[in-house]
Amino acid sequence: MSSIETVARKPRADVVRNRASILDTAQRHFLAFGVGTSLKAVAKEAGVGQATLYRHFPTREALLAGVLQLRSKELITRQTQIAQMADPDEALQQWLRALEDYFGAYSGLPEPLLLAAREREPENPLTLPCAQLISTTEQYLDAAQRDGSVESWVKGYDLFLAANSAAWIRGMGAGDESSLPALRRIMESGYRRPDHTDPSEKPLAE
């Protein structure tokens, strides 16, 4: 009796091309019109039918997750730079700023990410990326807490929400140019231990 071997076939060239075109077009539309942009318009500009778009990305969240995967390279690069920092408190601050920039990439992005992080539904394609970002935040937070610069009651999810909120405020254009720096300072002073002295603020040796 002869055995039958199952060979995994590569996706057809047109399938790969269509997916790449949809993602590239969606990224431009998200930048121009926000995450609520018309998917019909995305499909038309990408040169595919709506049925093809939904075959690749069954939901708006799936398409958004695919586009964010493309943008994650920038976040990974910043994370690599942050990992080289010797001061855990500074590393945490820089990671939160990187998160804020990531969340603020497209108008309206904070809302679906917040929903995915809160409801944690496995079928939502944004749930896993959010869980991974929260886990990374907890790693930086744990290091800062061991260093004694951050209160023990703070959780990674709290800081995830804070960065998301700052991105939402920035995207909505709420406040003037001094509002975001003030908000970041308020958040930082809220989670920093009162008796912790920032290395940059230490008095000069006599």
- pLDDT reported for residue 67: 96
Tokens 């055995």 correspond to 3
Residue 9 vs residue 44, higher pLDDT: 44
Q: Flag whether pLDDT at 170 surpasses 60.
A: yes
Q: What is the pLDDT of residue 197?
A: 57
Region 156-164: mean pLDDT is 93
Give the pair of three-digit tokens for residue 13: 């060239």
Q: Which domains does the chain have, with CATH numbers?
A: 12-58 (1.10.10.60), 62-193 (1.10.357.10)
Which position has the higher pLDDT, 10 or 137?
Answer: 137
H-helix or E-strand containing 60?
Answer: helix 60-82
- For residue 150, the cross-strand partners are 192
Is pLDDT of 144 > 90?
yes
Cα distances (angstroms) measured from residue 57 to each of 61, 83, 88, 204: 8, 34, 39, 58
Structural element, H or E, at residue 24: helix 13-33
Which SS3 state, helix, strand or coil, does residue 123 take?
coil
